[in-house]
Every structure is written in structure tokens, then in C-alpha cells.
DNA sequence: TATGAATGAGTATTCATTCAT
DNA sequence: GATGAATGAATACTCATTCAT
């Protein structure tokens, strides 16, 4: 018990240290040694909890991706209209805001965004945010008589689009400033979700 | 004259060598030495034509991105229907086919796709393929009374979505097999372009 | 004639460029390319005027060493007492002042100081400053009935001591701050020149 | 215990290997790889004991400088006269002899001599040679009623002069052969120490 | 004289990973 | 479980110098 707890704590400490360092210096410039030093454990200990460096990178990205989507979802909830397409538009905007405000973070997760939504939704024990999102999707599916799975996939693709366009625009300024692409993204989301509902 | 020509050839040789090696072994596993050896020039010569390794990586990606899109466009042309939204759907399918068939290539450009369309279209002297694509967009814009620029942006975002979803699905199998996501992508494209036209 | 002049100009330009760059960035961090660029000539041209990089480094050091000693000598002249030992002390102080004020310069010539005095004095056509210094030495030699050559050697050794101690102290802070070593140096100079005169 | 011992041994092995190689090939022509190979350790191990290459260069120079001075001091002791100024003259001669006989060594330490005397003398636990030298200085200071610290500084400067003149003369033949400068150096030492004592 | 494209030798340093303790 | 000493592979980049025009 106690041991199990200790282990959990150590792993958490490593994750936390990695999280902080990755954000500050990026993945490449953070060595395993940096992480273990920051976590206050020996280098070898790292390999008791993670297979290799990539393992912890992925783990942190997953956590981060989830956090970002959660944060954006909560922000959307605060201003939601009740119209599904519109609300997804708000979600996208919240997402874009967050990414634009966290350039270093965007650089870190680079294009490694992981949308754990699809694994999570199998999880009945998932956290409330995801349950709520899933509920939104289910309601909308019922309301429009569409397949929930299909709707989920559609939303996934649209969120992917947000991430991809945002990365290119924010990190490289290609092909234009995000301010110009944002309404386009929203337009696509709105149109594609309305159209589907109407079919 | 002669010298200038020689320089052009040398740069091309470097690019070609890099292109081949990157595809075969990936960016990371290809050293500058590998490239110069393959191109038959001295190591130092590399730095007369490219600032650093990343410089040539980007250059190759740009070329590749253009080629991919061109190839997909040509494939679409062979089966185009005349309906813009439908045709874009065909373009997306051609794109996805190509990416699915060239996993190593996808791994190489990672998510680093560069859509040079937006710079190119400034270029009146662009190659025929791009001129044709641009023409399609102009026609559709006229037909629907929409702004051409906006339409271009919309198509850009949709193509970005293709790339992003394809990468995730093909390279990591996340969140599902491409076969399941492909119709979703096409649906979004169709819906979002029809809706825009109808507005 | 004209050609000869042009050549001289180019060589001078290279020296001047090297001088400036060496002082700013040090010898190591200045490439031949830097020098030729700054001088406005092609790289290959460099080798028409200097055998290799070391050649120009030495040339610049020689010029610099002479300048430093000349400057110090002139400074001393402005306050000379007429007492030889005392005046040499003033010369040392001027030298130390100069070196302390030009740390980058000191770093550049490192320990490469060249005292061209001994070649110069063969030169009847040497510049006035050196003639004056030599005159001082001759007078002092006569006054004390000592051999002029010996006196020159003694002064050379004392000046060497200045350079060596200054370098260590200024560049590395070893073994103490120059302010503490300065009176010691002056003491040695004074004592050793007075003693010789008195013998 | 055991581990600590092993580490000491490894560092010593590295130093020894570096010492030998530096003397044989000079600092520049000795790579870190050469050193580790000679020491029988992995390349990476080097960086567990030295910050970088310069670190070990300095370390070896310090050791070498100490050895040289020690050796010269012992040689002087064998023929000392009891007269301080005279004895210092003998020390200088021994020093010059040593340097003249070890041209490669002189080339290696260049003018990088480190006189560790001033740190050492703080060390009550210093080795016997230094204790003896220090004792000489203390005695002389007492005998002449001068400040010991000042005397130490004076000797430091004089020894610096030896090194500087020797380097120039032996390595570059400037401005003359050492045989001509040696008596001058001794004269300065003698005069400057006698004068001080007499003041 | 002058050019500048081409050369290619040369190396310090990092860091993920292992394993003896 | 934990440690941390040891490993050694792996590589981009500079720059003095040459030589064909």
C-alpha cells in the first residue's frame, strides 16, 4: 500500500517535472537528467517508471491535450447558446484562443496533439467534463436522428482541423494570420454541423 | 552563365539526393554527409546552398507538398463531376489515397505539410496545375457570388484537415482506421462547401 | 607605380580590417572571410598579400605592440622627471594603464606581444618616438658609464615583466588585482635601474 | 569508499594521459578522444571529471607549473649560498635551465604558467618544498624588516619575468639568445632584491 | 591581379540507457 | 526499489586554402 503510494508519487513527480520543463524549454532541450534532477530522484529511477524518454513525452502530451480541450470546453460552457453548431464554434474559438496564448506550449506539443476523447468515452468513469461533452453529442445525435458515432467522428475531424490550422498559422504565420482564418474555421464548423443536422 | 548553371545543377542534385534519402531513412537518420556523398559534392559545398540541415528539409517538404497536391489534383481531374463540392471530395480522396500509399513519405513530412498554394497563386507564372485549380476556385466563386479569397481559405482549411486526420490515422491508428474517417472527411467537405454556396 | 600603389592600398585595407576585427572579436573568432569581406576584396585576394592567416595575425600584433609602446612612451614624456629610473617607472605605469583599459586588446595579443624595439633600433630611419627612446637609453648609458646594449636588454626584460604580470592579473585576476602589483613592478624597475646606475 | 577511490584513480589517469599527450603533441593536436583512449575510459567519462577540454588543459598546466618551480627550487637548494638575492638568482637560473631543456613543455604551457604559490601559501598543509620557500621569504623579510607580502609579490613578478623572457627567447629567438638575456635577468633579480633589502 | 566556388579535414560534446552495487 | 557512474554512438558545421576562370 504504502509502497504503491510512494511509487505513484514518484511517477507523478517525474510527470510534473517533465511537464514544467517541456513547457519551458521544449522536449528536445530537456534531458532525462534534467527531469530526474527536477524531480529529485536518481537518473536510473526514471527507467523504473517510463520505458524511455518518448514514453514520458507522450504521457505529458496526452495530459496536456486533455487539459486544453477541457479548458476550452469549460470556457465554451460559460457562453453556450444551446445551438449545437454554434456551441462547437465557440469551442473552436476557445481552443484557438488558448493555443494562440500559449505559443511555447504549442511548440512543445508541436503537432503531437492527442485527442484522447475516443478512448476516454469508453470510460464511464471519465471525468465530468468529458461526460458532459459526450452528453452534448448524444443529445444532438438524438435530436437530429443521426448516429452518435458519426457525429463524434465529425467533431473529431473538425477539432483536428483547428489544431492543424492553428499550428501552421501561429507557429509559422502560414498561410495567413490566425485572425483571418478563424472565421473560416468557424464557418466550416457551423456549416458542416448544420448541414448534417438538416440532412 | 555557365557558372550560374552549374550552381543550379548542384543545388538540384543536393535536393534530389536529400529527397531520396529522407524518404528512405527519414529526416533524422540522414546526415548532411549522407546527402553530400549521394550528391557527389564535398560536405562544405552543402553550406553554400543551404543555411543548415533544416533549410533543406523545409525545401524538400515544400516541393513534396506541392507534388502531392498536384498529383491528387490531376487524379481528381480525371474523374471530376463538375460539381465543385463533389470535386473537392474527390480531391480529398485522391489525397488520402496518396498519403495512405506513401506511409514513409507521410512519416517524413510528418505534419510539416506546406501548402504553397497561397504564395503560388500570386504567381501568374505558376504551373498549369495550380492555374487550373485556381481557375476552378474562381469559377465557383463567381457561380455562387462568394469572395474568391474566402473560398480559397476554406479549401485550405479543409485540405489541412485531410492532412492532419490522415497523419494521425495512418501513422498512429488514432483514433480509428482511415476507412472510417474518410467518409466523415468527405461529408464535412461536401456539406461545408454546399452550405457556403447556398448561403 | 600606380599598380604598386594599389597593391599597397589593398594590403593596408586588409590589415586595417583585420586590426579592427581582431580587436572586436579576437583572433580565433575572425575568419579570413570576415577580413576579406570587411576589406571589400575577394577571399582569394587575401593570399596574394599574406602567406596565411597567422601571417596577418603576427603582422597586426607587431603593429599593435609598437603602437602600445609608443603611446605609453609619449604619455610618459608628458610627465617625465629627467630621472631615468623614475621615468621608466612612469613608462611602466602608462603601459599598465593602457593594457588595463584595453582588455579585449590584451586578450587578442594574448601573450603574443612582440617588442620590435630591437630590430627597430637598427633602423636609423625609425620613427621619432623610437629614436627618442633610444636616445634616452644612450644618454643614461653614457651618464652611468654602462654598456648601452646591456641597458637596452634590462629595459626589455622589465617591459616583458610588465606585460606578463599585467596579462595574468588583468585577464585572470591571478594572483591579485593589478592595483596591488603595480607598485611592486614599479619598485623593481626603480631599484633595478638605480642599482645598475650606482654600481 | 571504494567508489570514491575509483573516481580519484580515474581522474588521475585522465590527467596523466593528458599530461603525456600534451607534451608529445601539444594541446591543439590532442583531442579529448585521444586522452580518453590513452586513459582507457569512455569518451563520455571525461566529462564526468572535467567541464571541458580547457578544464583539463588548465589543470595540467597548474600541476606542471608547480612541478617546474619545485624542481628549480630543489636544484637551487643544492647550491644555495645563504644570500637571499643570490639564491633567487640561482633559482632563476635553474628555472631557465629547465625551460631551455624542455622546449616542448614550454610550447605546451606557452605563456600559460600558473604560479600556484599564492594559493598554496595559504595552505599550511602545503608540501615541504613550498613551506621551505615560504620560510626563506619569511626569514628574509624579518632580516630586512620588510613586509613579507610585499616580498612575495616582488618574487612573483621576478619569476614572471623569467617565464616571459624565456618563452620569447627560447621559442621565438626574440629578441636574442637566452644566453645573452640570462645575465640580465639575474642582474635585475639581484639588484632589485638587494636594493629592497637595503632601503 | 582578382575572383569566389569548391573543398574536406577535423572534434568537442550530449545524453539516453544500462547495470553493478 | 533506488542509485549514479559509466558508456559510446552519433553529427552538424567551420574555415583555411586552392585553383580554374
Segment C74-114, tens digit of pLDDT? 999 999 999 999 999 999 999 999 999 888 778 777 656 66
How confident is the prediction along chain A (199 residues), in pLDDT tens digits per residue?
A: 566 677 788 899 999 999 999 888 888 889 999 999 999 999 999 999 999 999 999 899 888 888 888 899 999 999 999 999 999 999 999 999 999 988 878 877 765 666 655 555 545 456 788 888 888 999 999 999 999 989 999 999 999 999 989 988 998 888 889 999 999 999 999 999 997 666 6
How confident is the prediction along chain B (199 residues), in pLDDT tens digits per residue?
A: 577 778 888 999 999 999 999 988 888 889 999 999 999 999 999 999 999 998 999 899 888 888 888 899 999 999 999 999 999 999 999 999 999 998 888 877 765 666 655 555 545 456 788 888 888 999 999 999 999 989 999 999 999 999 989 988 998 888 889 999 999 999 999 999 997 667 6
CA–C1' D31–F13 (A): 18
D135: its cell numbers: 620560510
Sequence-distant (≥ 6) Cβ neighbours of residue A126 within 8 angstroms: A120, A134
pLDDT digits (tens, 9 = 90+) for C20-43: 998 888 888 899 999 999 999 999
CA–C1' C50–E5 (A): 21
Question: What was the pLDDT predicted at A185?
Answer: 98
Round to whole Å and give the CA distance between C57 and B107. 50
- Compute how many other C-beta atoms are within 10 angstroms of the C-beta atom of residue D120: 18
Question: What was the pLDDT predicted at A84?
Answer: 96
Round to whole Å and give the CA distance between D164 and C159. 10
Question: What was the pLDDT predicted at B190?
Answer: 96
Interface with chain C: mutation pick from D151, D175, D196, highest number of C CBs within 10 Å:
D175
Interface with chain A: mutation pick from B195, B196, B199, highest number of A CBs within 10 Å:
B195
Short-list B89, B82, B101, CA closest to B159:
B89
Question: What was the pLDDT predicted at C122?
Answer: 42
Question: What was the pLDDT predicted at B108?
Answer: 77
| Chain C residues with a Cβ under 8 Å from any Cβ in chain D | 110-111, 114-115, 117-119, 150, 153-154, 156-158, 160-161, 163-165, 167-168, 174-176, 180-181, 184-185, 187-188, 191-192, 194-196
A114: its cell numbers: 492527442
Range C51-55, long-range pairs (CB < 8 A, 24+ positions): none
B85: its cell numbers: 463540392
Sequence-distant (≥ 6) Cβ neighbours of residue A96 within 8 angstroms: A162, A166, A178, A182, A185
Backbone angles phi, psi at A107, to 5 degrees: -65, -35
* DSSP calls for C134-173: HHHHHHHHHHHT--HHHHHHHHHHHHHHHHHHHHHHHHH-
* DSSP calls for chain A: -HHHHHHHHHHHHHHHHHHHHHHHHTTTT--HHHHHHHHTS-HHHHHHH-SSHHHHHHHHHHHHHHHHHHHHHHHHHTT--S-HHHHHHHHHHHHHHHHHH-HHHHHHHTT----THHHHTT-TT--HHHHHHHHHHHHHHHHHT--HHHHHHHHHHHHHHHHHHHHHHHHH--SS-HHHHHHHHHHHHHHHHHHHHH-
How close C141 comes to chain D (CA, Å)?
Answer: 15
Round to whole Å and give the CA distance between B95 and B67. 11
User: Taking CB atoms and an 8 Å cutoff, what residues of chain A touch B118?
Assistant: 174-176
Strand F contacted by B31 CB (< 7 A): yes
Question: What was the pLDDT predicted at D111?
Answer: 58
Q: Do D192 and C191 touch (CB under 8 A)?
A: yes
Q: Do D195 and C194 touch (CB under 8 A)?
A: yes
Instruction: Give nearest nucleotide to A7 (CA–C1').
Output: F1
Q: What letter would DSSP give residue B185?
A: H
Question: What was the pLDDT predicted at D122?
Answer: 43
CA–C1' A17–F4 (A): 19
Q: Do C61 and C113 contact (CB within 8 A), yes or no?
A: yes
pLDDT band at C197 (very low <50, low <70, confident <90, very high): low
Round to whole Å and give the CA distance between B122 and B16. 26
User: Any idea which of B190-194, C66-70, C124-128 has the lowest mean pLDDT?
Assistant: C124-128
Round to whole Å and give the CA distance between A157 and A152. 9
Half-sphere exposure of D167 (CA within 13 A, CB side): 22
Per-residue pLDDT for C68 more than 60?
yes
Mean pLDDT of chain B: 87
Round to whole Å and give the CA distance between B145 and B94. 28
C27: its cell numbers: 583572433
DSSP reduced 3-state for B16: helix
Longest pairwise C-alpha distance within chain C: 60
Range A137-145, long-range pairs (CB < 8 A, 24+ positions): A140/A84, A140/A197, A143/A84, A143/A197, A144/A196, A144/A197
Question: What was the pLDDT predicted at B69?
Answer: 86
Sequence-distant (≥ 6) Cβ neighbours of residue A54 within 8 angstroms: none
pTM over 0.85: no
Total length of chain B: 199
Which nucleotides of chain F are near protein (any atom < 7 Å from a CB)? 1-20
pLDDT digits (tens, 9 = 90+) for A86-144: 999 999 999 999 999 888 788 777 656 666 555 555 454 567 888 888 889 999 999 99
Mean pLDDT of chain A: 87
- Over range C150-170, report the average pLDDT: 92
CA–C1' A177–F16 (A): 45
pLDDT digits (tens, 9 = 90+) for D149-195: 899 999 999 999 999 899 889 988 888 899 999 999 999 999 999 97
Question: What was the pLDDT predicted at B176?
Answer: 87
User: Taking CB atoms and an 8 Å cutoff, what residues of chain D touch C114?
Assistant: 174
pLDDT band at C131 (very low <50, low <70, confident <90, very high): confident
Residue given cell 456551441 in the structure block = A87
User: Taking CB atoms and an 8 Å cutoff, what residues of chain B touch A192?
Assistant: 187-188, 191-192, 195
Residue of C125 and B180 predicted with greater confidence: B180
| Chain B residues with a Cβ under 8 Å from any Cβ in chain A | 110-112, 114-115, 117-119, 150, 153-154, 156-158, 160-161, 163-165, 167-168, 174-176, 180-181, 184-185, 187-188, 191-192, 194-196
Backbone angles phi, psi at C23, to 5 degrees: -70, -35
Q: Do A158 and A92 contact (CB within 8 A), yes or no?
A: yes
Round to whole Å and give the CA distance between B138 and B152. 9
List of chain D residues with pLDDT < 70: 1, 110-126, 196-199
Cα–Cα distances (Å) from D26 to B114, C107, D51, D116, in that order, read: 51, 21, 20, 22
- Compute how many other C-beta atoms are within 10 angstroms of the C-beta atom of residue A78: 8
Q: Do B194 and A195 touch (CB under 8 A)?
A: yes
How close D171 comes to chain C (CA, Å)?
Answer: 12
Chains B and A touch (3+ CB pairs under 8 A): yes
Per-residue pLDDT for C186 more than 50?
yes
Q: Do C150 and D175 touch (CB under 8 A)?
A: no
Amino acid at each position: 500500500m504504502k509502497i504503491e503510494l510512494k511509487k505513484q508519487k514518484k511517477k507523478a513527480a517525474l510527470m510534473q517535472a517533465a511537464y514544467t520543463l517541456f513547457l519551458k524549454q521544449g522536449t528536445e532541450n530537456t534531458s532525462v537528467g534534467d527531469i530526474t534532477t527536477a524531480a529529485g530522484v536518481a537518473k536510473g529511477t526514471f527507467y523504473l517508471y517510463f520505458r524511455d524518454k518518448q514514453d514520458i513525452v507522450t504521457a505529458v502530451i496526452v495530459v496536456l491535450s486533455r487539459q486544453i480541450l477541457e479548458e476550452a470546453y469549460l470556457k465554451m460552457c460559460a457562453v453556450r447558446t444551446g445551438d449545437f453548431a454554434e456551441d462547437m464554434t465557440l469551442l473552436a474559438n476557445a481552443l484557438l484562443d488558448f493555443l494562440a496564448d500559449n505559443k511555447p506550449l504549442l511548440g512543445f506539443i508541436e503537432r503531437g496533439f492527442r485527442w484522447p476523447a475516443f478512448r476516454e468515452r469508453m470510460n464511464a468513469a471519465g471525468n465530468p467534463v468529458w461526460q458532459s461533452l459526450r452528453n452534448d453529442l448524444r443529445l444532438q445525435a438524438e435530436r437530429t436522428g443521426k448516429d452518435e458515432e458519426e457525429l463524434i467522428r465529425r467533431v473529431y475531424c473538425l477539432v483536428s482541423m483547428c489544431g492543424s490550422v492553428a499550428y501552421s498559422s501561429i507557429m509559422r504565420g502560414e498561410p495567413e494570420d490566425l485572425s483571418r482564418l478563424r472565421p473560416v474555421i468557424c464557418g466550416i464548423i457551423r456549416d458542416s454541423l448544420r448541414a448534417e443536422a438538416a440532412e
